[in-house]
Amino acid sequence: MRRERTDFTSDTVYPPAEDSELLLEVALREVKPKDEVLEIGVGSGFVAERLKEKCRFLLATDINPFACMMAKEKGIDVVRTDLVKGIRKGFTLILFNPPYLELDENEKRGDWLEKAIDGGKGGIEVVCRFLDFVRDVLDEKGRIILIVSSFNVPHVFEEIEKRGFRWKILAKRYLFFEELYALKLESL
């Protein structure tokens, strides 16, 4: 029995936007041919598809089954999981464009797109969970590229430091309602 391709829309998979473009721009500058890369929250595959030939190995994760199917159709190795659960390998470069908005109860729809944009209380709950588990999959000398929003500053910086990472801003993107930062994190 042959499966037909499912048409994905912005109702099921987060479409590439300014934050995706910023992650791609910085990842292309940061990636090295010897890197083993993990992209968490692959979404449409916009970033992973352009990086997979520029590194030794690339694996992606997403909690959304539709995003996983879309990534697989683009030839990306993908695992459906929450952040890094079940991954048992160390990576030299980890990429994450997390959900960073705090949705009001009346904005929540209980769908897959909500999971891609709702960062929880203060917009940083997902980032904090990521920071709590990322060392399980980060190579000893590995680095992380993390997208954050001015909506989450300074709390997100405090959470990063509290978990023993140093950070620096590699790039910024100004939007009319917020500023996006591409951070590079490394263990202290």
Q: pTM here?
A: 0.92
The residue count for the chain? 188
Contact by Cβ (8 Å): 51, 31: yes
Q: What pLDDT shows up at residue 29?
A: 98
Instruction: Name the token pair of 86.
Output: 């079940």
**Residue 127's CB: how many other CB atoms inside 10 A?**
24
Asked if the model's pLDDT at residue 6 lies above 70, the reply is no
Asked if the model's pLDDT at residue 79 lies above 70, the reply is yes
Q: What pLDDT shows up at residue 110?
A: 78
**Strands (DSSP E) found in 41-102:** 57-62, 78-80, 91-96
Mean pLDDT of the chain: 92
The 3-class secondary structure across 130-142, one letter per residue, is HHHHHHHCEEEEE
Provide the CATH topology of domain 18-187: Rossmann fold (3.40.50)
Q: What pLDDT shows up at residue 4?
A: 37
Asked if the model's pLDDT at residue 11 lies above 80, the reply is no
User: What number of H helices and E strands is found in the chain?
Assistant: 6, 7
Asked if the model's pLDDT at residue 106 lies above 80, the reply is no
Q: What pLDDT shows up at residue 115?
A: 82
Reported as a single tens digit per residue, the pLDDT across 27-45 is: 999 999 999 999 999 999 9
Rounded Cα gap, residues 49 and 111, in angstroms: 25
